[in-house]
Amino acid sequence: MEEKSKKINAFTLPEALLVLIIIGVIAAITIPQLLVDDPAKRGWTTLAEKTVGSLIQASTEILIYDAGLDDFTSLTYNGKRFSIEDADITSDMSGLYGKYIANSTQDVDLNDEYFAKPLATYDKNALDKTLKELYSDFFIGNDGVLIGFRFYGGCDKTEENVVLPAKRNRYSVNNICGSVYLDVNGYKKPNKLGSDQYIVPIAKRGIVYEDN
């Protein structure tokens, strides 16, 4: 009696190659995220985006209640009129934003070693000035985010070290008046732009937040 031949089910070569290609595509998408975008960094990004949203909302409030025009060329703080183009207005601007952003009662110690170190950028054109030299009048939000302000004496300037939460790498923005510095975990490390530190530009109508 002849033994019946067994039918073997298997992938053909083209089918096997297609499966390998699909696996490779999925790996290429997910593995870099697992290696680079760790949970801590994702949390920092979320908190940074939340803070930027608060700053944008504060800009709207300032334009409605504190600006004489439809931009920041004329502002009022504590009965004092000033322009965003003034270079020495950081206390006034942080005071304005502070009215509309929940602030912590925690004091900022500018003598801390944290403020004596330069910002760490990703390229050879790294900033050589310390954080204290670049930004001033810091305050800490209720979420523990350290916020500082910087102005350039005009609204036609270029900030070459913009680092947004949605983008993370450094790039330049033209026609701005200043910038806001954020460190989402305060003085704690790693203290590096694109990780826990961000720089968001300010234009005549407030915070500029675009993923260019």
94-129: per-residue pLDDT in tens? 888 888 888 777 888 888 999 998 876 555 455 678
Q: Are the C-beta atoms of 165 and 48 separated by less than 8 Å?
A: yes
**Residue pLDDT, tens place only, 145-194:** 999 998 888 889 888 888 888 776 788 889 998 899 999 999 998 888 88
27: confidence class by pLDDT, cuts 50, 70, 90 = low
More confident residue, 64 or 124: 64
pLDDT for 55: 92
Cα separation, 6 vs 13, whole angstroms: 20
* 150's tokens: 């910087």
- Helix, strand, coil % in the chain, rounded to nearest 5: 35, 25, 45
Entry pTM: 0.77
What mean pLDDT comes out for the span 192-204?
Answer: 90
Q: Nearest Cα to 67, choosing from 59, 57, 75? A: 75
What mean pLDDT comes out for the span 56-62?
Answer: 89
CB neighbour list of residue 183: distance below 8 Å, 6 or more residues apart: 145, 146, 191, 196, 197
H helix or E strand, kind and range, residue 73: none
H helices of 37-76, in order, are 39-65
pLDDT for 200: 93
212: confidence class by pLDDT, cuts 50, 70, 90 = very low
- Lowest-confidence region among 14-18, 35-39, 97-101, 152-156: 35-39
